[in-house]
Amino acid sequence: MPLLFERIKDIRNHLERLRCDEGKSIGFVPTMGYLHEGHKALIRESKVQNDVTVVSIYVNPTQFGPSEDYERYPRDLDRDMAICEELGVDVVFTPSDEEMYPEGFSTNVNVSCITEILEGEFRPGHFRGVATVVLKLLNIVQPDRAYFGEKDYQQLKVVQKMVKDLNLPIQIIPVETVREKDGLAFSSRNVYLSEEERDSALSIYKAFQLAQKMISEGKRQSEVLINAMEDLIRSHPHVTKIDYITITDPELSPVQEVREGDRILIALWVGGTRLIDNWKIKL
Ligand code: AMP
Protein backbone atom coordinates (compact mmCIF):
# COMPACT_ATOMS: atom_id res chain seq x y z
CA MET A 1 0.00 0.00 0.00
CA PRO A 2 1.22 3.54 -0.65
CA LEU A 3 1.94 5.65 2.43
CA LEU A 4 -1.06 7.89 3.12
CA PHE A 5 -0.55 11.39 4.54
CA GLU A 6 -3.22 13.89 5.57
CA ARG A 7 -1.00 16.48 7.25
CA ILE A 8 1.36 18.86 5.45
CA LYS A 9 4.10 18.60 8.07
CA ASP A 10 4.09 14.80 7.91
CA ILE A 11 4.35 14.48 4.12
CA ARG A 12 6.99 17.24 4.09
CA ASN A 13 9.13 15.37 6.65
CA HIS A 14 8.80 12.11 4.76
CA LEU A 15 9.62 13.61 1.34
CA GLU A 16 12.49 15.69 2.72
CA ARG A 17 14.10 12.49 3.94
CA LEU A 18 13.73 10.85 0.52
CA ARG A 19 14.87 13.97 -1.38
CA CYS A 20 17.72 15.20 0.80
CA ASP A 21 19.02 12.13 2.64
CA GLU A 22 18.46 9.54 -0.07
CA GLY A 23 18.80 11.81 -3.15
CA LYS A 24 15.60 10.49 -4.72
CA SER A 25 13.84 12.29 -7.58
CA ILE A 26 10.17 13.01 -6.99
CA GLY A 27 7.32 12.93 -9.51
CA PHE A 28 3.97 14.44 -8.56
CA VAL A 29 0.47 13.83 -9.96
CA PRO A 30 -2.17 16.19 -8.55
CA THR A 31 -5.74 14.87 -8.90
CA MET A 32 -9.23 15.28 -7.51
CA GLY A 33 -9.51 11.51 -7.17
CA TYR A 34 -12.03 9.01 -8.52
CA LEU A 35 -9.10 7.80 -10.57
CA HIS A 36 -9.49 6.56 -14.14
CA GLU A 37 -7.28 5.63 -17.10
CA GLY A 38 -6.36 9.28 -17.70
CA HIS A 39 -4.95 9.63 -14.19
CA LYS A 40 -3.26 6.26 -14.55
CA ALA A 41 -1.37 7.46 -17.65
CA LEU A 42 0.01 10.41 -15.63
CA ILE A 43 1.03 8.10 -12.79
CA ARG A 44 2.70 5.62 -15.17
CA GLU A 45 4.69 8.44 -16.78
CA SER A 46 5.82 9.63 -13.36
CA LYS A 47 6.82 6.10 -12.36
CA VAL A 48 9.04 5.84 -15.45
CA GLN A 49 10.76 9.21 -14.93
CA ASN A 50 11.19 9.41 -11.12
CA ASP A 51 12.37 7.38 -8.13
CA VAL A 52 9.33 8.29 -6.06
CA THR A 53 5.76 9.04 -7.23
CA VAL A 54 3.40 11.14 -5.12
CA VAL A 55 -0.32 11.41 -5.94
CA SER A 56 -2.56 14.00 -4.28
CA ILE A 57 -6.29 13.39 -4.02
CA TYR A 58 -8.08 16.58 -3.09
CA VAL A 59 -11.39 17.96 -4.34
CA ASN A 60 -10.43 21.61 -4.11
CA PRO A 61 -13.50 23.66 -3.14
CA THR A 62 -12.08 26.99 -4.31
CA GLN A 63 -12.05 26.02 -7.98
CA PHE A 64 -15.80 25.28 -8.05
CA GLY A 65 -18.37 28.02 -8.59
CA PRO A 66 -21.32 28.30 -6.16
CA SER A 67 -23.73 26.52 -8.55
CA GLU A 68 -21.24 23.86 -9.66
CA ASP A 69 -20.89 20.18 -8.71
CA TYR A 70 -18.52 20.38 -5.71
CA GLU A 71 -20.93 18.56 -3.37
CA ARG A 72 -21.76 15.73 -5.74
CA TYR A 73 -18.27 15.33 -7.26
CA PRO A 74 -17.55 11.55 -7.07
CA ARG A 75 -15.28 10.44 -4.21
CA ASP A 76 -14.02 6.95 -3.31
CA LEU A 77 -10.71 6.89 -1.43
CA ASP A 78 -10.63 3.10 -0.95
CA ARG A 79 -10.95 2.53 -4.68
CA ASP A 80 -8.34 5.20 -5.40
CA MET A 81 -5.91 3.68 -2.89
CA ALA A 82 -6.31 0.26 -4.52
CA ILE A 83 -5.52 1.78 -7.94
CA CYS A 84 -2.49 3.61 -6.51
CA GLU A 85 -1.25 0.38 -4.96
CA GLU A 86 -1.70 -1.50 -8.23
CA LEU A 87 0.36 1.15 -10.06
CA GLY A 88 3.11 1.25 -7.43
CA VAL A 89 2.45 4.80 -6.18
CA ASP A 90 4.72 5.51 -3.20
CA VAL A 91 2.89 8.32 -1.41
CA VAL A 92 -0.72 9.55 -1.44
CA PHE A 93 -1.62 12.96 0.00
CA THR A 94 -5.25 13.58 1.03
CA PRO A 95 -5.40 16.85 2.98
CA SER A 96 -8.58 18.16 4.59
CA ASP A 97 -10.00 21.58 3.72
CA GLU A 98 -8.85 22.85 7.15
CA GLU A 99 -5.32 21.69 6.38
CA MET A 100 -5.27 23.45 3.00
CA TYR A 101 -7.27 26.56 3.93
CA PRO A 102 -6.99 27.20 7.67
CA GLU A 103 -8.97 30.06 9.16
CA GLY A 104 -7.61 33.37 7.97
CA PHE A 105 -6.24 32.04 4.67
CA SER A 106 -6.12 35.04 2.33
CA THR A 107 -3.55 34.61 -0.44
CA ASN A 108 -4.47 33.74 -4.02
CA VAL A 109 -2.60 33.29 -7.27
CA ASN A 110 -3.91 35.19 -10.26
CA VAL A 111 -2.45 34.26 -13.64
CA SER A 112 -3.78 37.02 -15.89
CA CYS A 113 -4.91 37.00 -19.56
CA ILE A 114 -5.14 33.30 -20.43
CA THR A 115 -7.39 32.70 -17.41
CA GLU A 116 -9.95 35.21 -18.67
CA ILE A 117 -10.93 33.39 -21.88
CA LEU A 118 -12.69 30.06 -22.60
CA GLU A 119 -13.07 28.22 -19.25
CA GLY A 120 -12.31 31.47 -17.42
CA GLU A 121 -15.24 33.17 -19.12
CA PHE A 122 -17.72 30.45 -18.20
CA ARG A 123 -16.24 29.59 -14.79
CA PRO A 124 -15.20 32.90 -13.21
CA GLY A 125 -12.66 32.37 -10.43
CA HIS A 126 -11.99 28.77 -11.50
CA PHE A 127 -8.37 29.27 -12.50
CA ARG A 128 -7.65 31.39 -9.45
CA GLY A 129 -8.65 28.38 -7.37
CA VAL A 130 -6.65 26.03 -9.59
CA ALA A 131 -3.47 28.13 -9.63
CA THR A 132 -3.62 28.67 -5.88
CA VAL A 133 -4.09 25.02 -4.98
CA VAL A 134 -1.51 23.83 -7.53
CA LEU A 135 1.09 26.29 -6.21
CA LYS A 136 0.36 25.17 -2.63
CA LEU A 137 0.65 21.50 -3.59
CA LEU A 138 3.87 22.10 -5.54
CA ASN A 139 5.31 23.92 -2.51
CA ILE A 140 4.28 21.12 -0.18
CA VAL A 141 5.58 18.25 -2.34
CA GLN A 142 8.49 20.10 -4.01
CA PRO A 143 8.70 17.61 -6.87
CA ASP A 144 11.27 17.51 -9.65
CA ARG A 145 8.48 16.89 -12.17
CA ALA A 146 4.71 17.37 -12.08
CA TYR A 147 2.31 15.72 -14.52
CA PHE A 148 -0.75 17.37 -16.07
CA GLY A 149 -3.18 16.04 -18.68
CA GLU A 150 -3.75 17.71 -22.04
CA LYS A 151 -7.42 16.85 -21.47
CA ASP A 152 -7.55 20.10 -19.47
CA TYR A 153 -5.49 21.98 -22.02
CA GLN A 154 -6.11 25.49 -20.73
CA GLN A 155 -5.32 24.36 -17.17
CA LEU A 156 -2.03 22.92 -18.43
CA LYS A 157 -1.19 26.27 -20.07
CA VAL A 158 -2.11 28.19 -16.90
CA VAL A 159 0.11 25.95 -14.76
CA GLN A 160 3.00 26.22 -17.23
CA LYS A 161 2.66 30.02 -17.21
CA MET A 162 2.57 30.19 -13.41
CA VAL A 163 5.63 27.95 -13.08
CA LYS A 164 7.54 30.08 -15.61
CA ASP A 165 6.45 33.46 -14.22
CA LEU A 166 7.21 32.49 -10.61
CA ASN A 167 10.48 30.67 -11.46
CA LEU A 168 9.48 27.41 -9.81
CA PRO A 169 12.27 24.83 -10.19
CA ILE A 170 9.83 22.18 -11.43
CA GLN A 171 9.39 20.55 -14.81
CA ILE A 172 5.77 20.41 -15.97
CA ILE A 173 5.20 17.29 -18.06
CA PRO A 174 2.11 17.25 -20.33
CA VAL A 175 0.44 13.87 -20.91
CA GLU A 176 -1.81 13.16 -23.91
CA THR A 177 -5.53 12.70 -23.40
CA VAL A 178 -6.59 9.11 -22.79
CA ARG A 179 -9.87 8.11 -24.45
CA GLU A 180 -12.28 5.22 -24.17
CA LYS A 181 -12.41 2.85 -27.16
CA ASP A 182 -15.12 4.91 -28.85
CA GLY A 183 -13.27 8.21 -28.33
CA LEU A 184 -14.94 9.67 -25.23
CA ALA A 185 -12.21 11.23 -23.06
CA PHE A 186 -11.96 9.63 -19.63
CA SER A 187 -13.29 11.99 -16.96
CA SER A 188 -14.42 11.51 -13.37
CA ARG A 189 -17.58 13.38 -14.41
CA ASN A 190 -18.54 10.68 -16.95
CA VAL A 191 -20.26 8.81 -14.08
CA TYR A 192 -22.96 11.50 -14.15
CA LEU A 193 -24.01 10.47 -17.68
CA SER A 194 -26.96 8.15 -18.44
CA GLU A 195 -26.55 5.80 -21.40
CA GLU A 196 -28.39 8.16 -23.76
CA GLU A 197 -26.44 11.15 -22.47
CA ARG A 198 -23.18 9.29 -23.04
CA ASP A 199 -24.22 8.89 -26.71
CA SER A 200 -24.65 12.65 -26.96
CA ALA A 201 -21.33 13.22 -25.15
CA LEU A 202 -19.65 11.28 -27.95
CA SER A 203 -20.65 14.09 -30.32
CA ILE A 204 -17.54 15.94 -29.08
CA TYR A 205 -15.19 13.28 -30.41
CA LYS A 206 -17.29 12.90 -33.57
CA ALA A 207 -16.93 16.65 -34.12
CA PHE A 208 -13.14 16.38 -33.80
CA GLN A 209 -13.13 13.54 -36.33
CA LEU A 210 -15.35 15.47 -38.73
CA ALA A 211 -13.10 18.54 -38.54
CA GLN A 212 -9.99 16.42 -38.96
CA LYS A 213 -11.53 14.79 -42.08
CA MET A 214 -12.47 18.18 -43.56
CA ILE A 215 -8.92 19.40 -42.87
CA SER A 216 -7.49 16.38 -44.67
CA GLU A 217 -9.71 17.34 -47.64
CA GLY A 218 -8.08 20.77 -47.69
CA LYS A 219 -10.61 22.84 -45.73
CA ARG A 220 -8.63 25.14 -43.47
CA GLN A 221 -11.02 27.96 -42.54
CA SER A 222 -11.80 27.83 -38.81
CA GLU A 223 -15.26 29.29 -39.35
CA VAL A 224 -16.23 26.55 -41.82
CA LEU A 225 -14.89 23.83 -39.52
CA ILE A 226 -16.58 25.30 -36.43
CA ASN A 227 -19.96 25.59 -38.20
CA ALA A 228 -19.78 21.96 -39.33
CA MET A 229 -18.86 20.79 -35.81
CA GLU A 230 -21.65 22.85 -34.29
CA ASP A 231 -24.26 21.36 -36.69
CA LEU A 232 -23.08 17.85 -35.86
CA ILE A 233 -23.16 18.49 -32.10
CA ARG A 234 -26.59 20.16 -32.20
CA SER A 235 -28.06 17.07 -33.89
CA HIS A 236 -27.51 15.18 -30.60
CA PRO A 237 -30.67 15.41 -28.47
CA HIS A 238 -29.10 15.53 -25.00
CA VAL A 239 -26.68 18.37 -25.73
CA THR A 240 -28.44 21.11 -23.79
CA LYS A 241 -25.96 23.97 -24.28
CA ILE A 242 -22.70 24.66 -26.11
CA ASP A 243 -20.43 26.99 -24.13
CA TYR A 244 -17.80 27.22 -26.88
CA ILE A 245 -16.33 25.56 -29.94
CA THR A 246 -13.14 27.30 -30.94
CA ILE A 247 -9.88 26.75 -32.79
CA THR A 248 -6.70 28.31 -31.40
CA ASP A 249 -2.97 28.11 -31.79
CA PRO A 250 -1.10 26.13 -29.08
CA GLU A 251 -1.01 29.28 -26.89
CA LEU A 252 -4.82 29.65 -27.03
CA SER A 253 -5.06 32.58 -29.49
CA PRO A 254 -7.90 32.02 -31.96
CA VAL A 255 -6.84 31.31 -35.56
CA GLN A 256 -8.71 31.95 -38.81
CA GLU A 257 -6.87 29.28 -40.78
CA VAL A 258 -5.70 26.08 -39.13
CA ARG A 259 -2.13 24.90 -39.01
CA GLU A 260 -0.42 21.78 -37.70
CA GLY A 261 -0.57 21.67 -33.89
CA ASP A 262 -3.51 24.06 -33.51
CA ARG A 263 -6.20 23.03 -31.01
CA ILE A 264 -9.93 22.59 -31.29
CA LEU A 265 -11.46 23.25 -27.85
CA ILE A 266 -15.04 22.38 -26.96
CA ALA A 267 -17.10 22.87 -23.79
CA LEU A 268 -20.73 21.83 -23.69
CA TRP A 269 -23.47 20.55 -21.47
CA VAL A 270 -25.04 17.11 -21.79
CA GLY A 271 -28.12 17.18 -19.59
CA GLY A 272 -26.82 18.64 -16.32
CA THR A 273 -23.19 17.64 -16.91
CA ARG A 274 -20.58 20.03 -18.26
CA LEU A 275 -17.88 18.40 -20.39
CA ILE A 276 -14.67 19.79 -21.91
CA ASP A 277 -12.31 18.25 -24.42
CA ASN A 278 -9.78 19.33 -27.03
CA TRP A 279 -8.02 18.00 -30.10
CA LYS A 280 -4.59 18.62 -31.59
CA ILE A 281 -4.93 19.24 -35.33
CA LYS A 282 -2.83 17.19 -37.72
CA LEU A 283 -2.42 18.40 -41.30
P1 AMP B 1 -8.72 15.83 -12.19
O2 AMP B 1 -8.74 14.73 -11.17
O3 AMP B 1 -9.91 15.82 -13.11
O4 AMP B 1 -8.45 17.19 -11.58
O5 AMP B 1 -7.48 15.53 -13.12
C6 AMP B 1 -6.19 15.37 -12.60
C7 AMP B 1 -5.20 15.35 -13.73
O8 AMP B 1 -5.52 14.29 -14.63
C9 AMP B 1 -5.23 16.65 -14.56
O10 AMP B 1 -3.91 16.99 -14.93
C11 AMP B 1 -6.04 16.24 -15.77
O12 AMP B 1 -5.74 17.00 -16.93
C13 AMP B 1 -5.62 14.80 -15.94
N14 AMP B 1 -6.62 14.07 -16.73
C15 AMP B 1 -7.95 14.00 -16.50
N16 AMP B 1 -8.57 13.26 -17.45
C17 AMP B 1 -7.59 12.87 -18.32
C18 AMP B 1 -7.58 12.09 -19.52
N19 AMP B 1 -8.69 11.56 -20.03
N20 AMP B 1 -6.39 11.89 -20.13
C21 AMP B 1 -5.24 12.43 -19.62
N22 AMP B 1 -5.19 13.16 -18.50
C23 AMP B 1 -6.35 13.38 -17.85
SS (H, E, C) 3-20: EEECCHHHHHHHHHHHHH
Q: Where exactly are the structural domains of the chain?
A: 3-175, 188-278
Q: In angstroms, what is the span from residue 37 Cα to ligand 1's centroid?
A: 9
From first to last of its 283 residues, what are the pLDDT tens digits of the chain? 999 999 999 999 999 999 999 999 999 999 999 999 999 999 999 999 999 999 999 999 999 999 999 999 999 999 999 999 999 999 999 999 999 999 999 999 999 999 999 999 999 999 999 999 999 999 999 999 999 999 999 999 999 999 999 999 999 999 999 999 999 999 999 999 999 999 999 999 999 999 999 999 999 999 999 999 999 999 999 999 999 999 999 999 999 999 999 999 999 999 999 999 999 999 9
State which ligand 1 atom lies nearest to the alpha carbon of 152.
12
Contact 257, 281 (CB under 8 A): no
Q: In angstroms, what is the span from residue 147 Cα to ligand 1's centroid?
A: 9
117-125: which pairs have CB atoms within 8 A and are 24 or more residues apart? 117/154, 117/252, 118/154, 118/244, 118/246, 118/252, 118/265, 118/267, 119/154, 119/155, 119/267, 119/276, 120/154, 121/244, 122/243, 122/244, 122/267, 123/65, 123/68, 124/65, 125/62, 125/63, 125/65
The pLDDT value given to residue 133: 98
The pLDDT value given to residue 276: 98
Comparing CA positions, the residue from 97, 98, 94, 62 lying closest to residue 80 is 94
**For ligand 1, atom 14: residue with the closest CA:** 149
The pLDDT value given to residue 216: 97
Report the C-alpha gap between 239 and 229 in whole angstroms: 13
The pLDDT value given to residue 218: 97
Q: Which CATH class is domain 188-278?
A: alpha beta
Q: In angstroms, what is the span from residue 120 Cα to ligand 1's centroid?
A: 18
**Is 3.40.50.620 the CATH classification of the domain at 3-175?**
yes
Q: What is the pTM of this model?
A: 0.98
The yes-or-no answer on residue 238 being catalytic is no
Pocket of ligand 1 (CB under 6 A): 31-32, 38-39, 41-42, 148-149, 151-152, 175, 177-178, 185-188
- Determine the Cα angle at 183 with ends 246 and 145, to 5°: 75
